[in-house]
Chain A
């Protein structure tokens, strides 16, 4: 086992940006660091704990690593509170990638829910960087409330593109919001794509992913071309400890990105 995979390297936070009420994006100087869209790092708040956090930056751009963290537990709160200059432990990258290369020649639907947009953002960068390789591209994003929209300015920039469809919907809104209100699956009905030649990348809370995968399959997309990013209790991230076991798979080793046809039978098993 490579030491780099099991022992954190000490990096420095170089910037911290507030995305929403409880979500922050950290820029971390990790030197030369290559990763694929969909992969994650283990981030360690010294003395408090280590958690898996997806990479949310551009895999094609040199510079600091971006990690978007929602401050909900002790480790994530400590990580989200780090300030420029603070040290942070980092192991990675781990896990499987969104199949951007394998999806060349197809339409691509990116379906994100809540914080699930963060692990998908590197895939969106990759799709846009190689735009000519794909047919229709649609990014369908659902979240709770307009105040919870991640990467708001970037979404506004994406919406100005003439070669992609970017739709945002919220579950609840007041009268100041003039966009869509309703669940993200409703956006799937409206998106333009050829179901026989479409790949879908889905990330969000697991219930949302189950609903989305059902809707995508009902729209005619084959289960093996629907990819979900799963989340379980990851500890070692190298397939040794078994904490993230999901039936016959280990999410850290075999995922987090997995094809729906492989995980569908497991998604409805209780206590798995």
Chain B
């Protein structure tokens, strides 16, 4: 069966590689296309985390504001990456800012909508959780390497 529109974008995104078309359609029912100009924020610390973003084009910086130091960047995201994981767990609130460093196109997925579908279909929910868990473990390992400061003079 040929697939169209958002379902196709979702299935083609690296994060959902190999996902069944049925599941892509389920996700597509919670999705819409969005774009952010350079300097625009996808989300900001403290706001309600009701969605996540499949980045299709552009670059997004994750950063935390520090008094007197400005924005501290700790990760940049490129096409194929996911922006936003706080929608997964209560209290569903962003803990950092996400700023588009250039024109960025993404698919926004409504987190509440997706959580409902995952509750109703645990096979789907498990598939989603496996993908997010893989990404989270990769980011955890990367964060560990970053905080080790291996390039310091002791490194």
Q: Which residues of A contact B (CB under 8 A)?
A: 22, 70, 72, 113-115, 142-144, 148, 169, 171-175, 177-183, 185-186, 190, 204-205, 207-208, 211
Asked whether B149 is an interface residue with its Cβ less than 8 Å from the other chain, the reply is yes
Question: Nearest-CB distance from B58 to chain A (Å)?
Answer: 12
What is the CB-to-nearest-CB distance from A210 to chain B, in angstroms, rounded to a whole number? 10
Could you jot down 17 A-B contacts, CB within 8 Å? A114-B151, A114-B155, A144-B149, A148-B151, A171-B146, A171-B151, A173-B73, A174-B69, A175-B61, A177-B73, A178-B59, A182-B142, A183-B142, A185-B142, A205-B151, A208-B145, A208-B151
Q: Secondary structure at chain A's binding surface: helix, strand, loop or mixed?
A: mixed
- In the complex, the answer to whether B149 meets A171 with C-beta atoms within 8 Å is yes
Please judge, given known A-B contacts A114-B155, A182-B76, A190-B78, whether A174 and B146 are in contact too, CB under 8 Å: no
Which of B69, B74, B150 makes the CB contact (< 8 A) with A113?
Answer: B150
Inter-chain CB contacts under 8 Å: number: 76
Binding site for A on B (CB under 8 A): 59, 61-63, 69-76, 78, 80, 101-102, 141-142, 145-146, 148-153, 155
Contacts known (A174-B72, A175-B73, A178-B101); A183 close to B153, Cβ less than 8 A: no
Note all chain A residues with C-beta closer than 8 A to B72: 172-174
Provide the residues of chain A in CB contact with B153, threshold 8 Å. Answer: 22, 70, 72
B102 to chain A, nearest CB (A): 8
Asked if A207 contacts B150 (CB within 8 A), the reply is yes
Knowing A178-B101, A181-B75, A182-B76, the reply to whether A207 touches B145 (Cβ < 8 A) is yes
Residue of B59, B62, B73 touching A174 (CB-CB under 8 A): B73
What is the CB-to-nearest-CB distance from B42 to chain A, in angstroms, rounded to a whole number? 16
Separation of A148 and B153 alpha carbons in the complex (Å): 12
Do A144 and B152 have beta carbons less than 8 Å apart? yes
Cβ–Cβ contact A186 & B142, under 8 A: yes
Q: Which residues of A contact B74 (CB under 8 A)?
A: 172, 181-182
**Quick check: A207 and B71 within 8 Å, CB to CB?**
no
Q: CA–CA, A143 to B102, complex, Å?
A: 23
Residues on B with beta carbons closer than 8 Å to the beta carbon of A182: 74-76, 142, 146
Which of A171, A174, A190, A204 has the most chain B CB within a 10 Å cutoff?
A171
With the chains together, A72 CA to B151 CA distance in Å? Answer: 13
Min CB gap A159→B, angstroms:
16
Partner of B146 from the list A22, A113, A183, A205 (CB cut-off 8 Å) is A183
Nearest-neighbour CB distance to chain B for A170, whole angstroms, equals 9
CB distance from A76 to the nearest CB of B (A): 10
> Bound state CA distance, A70 and B152, in angstroms?
11
Verify B69–A143 contact, CB threshold 8 A: no
CB distance from A237 to the nearest CB of B (A): 22
Nearest chain B residue, comparing its CB with the CB of A72: B153
CB neighbours of B70 from chain A (8 A) = 174-175
How far, in Å, is A146 (CB) from chain B's closest CB?
10
With CB as the reference atom, state the residue of chain A lying closest to B145.
Answer: A183
A47 CA to B62 CA in the complex, in Å? 50
* Interchain CB contact under 8 A, B148 and A207: yes
Task: Name the B residues within 8 Å of A181 (CB-CB).
Answer: 61-62, 73-76
Contact of A114 among B73, B102, B150 (CB under 8 A): B150
- Output the least CB separation between B34 and chain A (Å): 21
CA distance A36 to B118 in the complex (A): 58
Do B142 and A144 have beta carbons less than 8 Å apart?
Answer: no
Residue of A174, A179, A181 with most partner-chain B CB within 10 A: A181
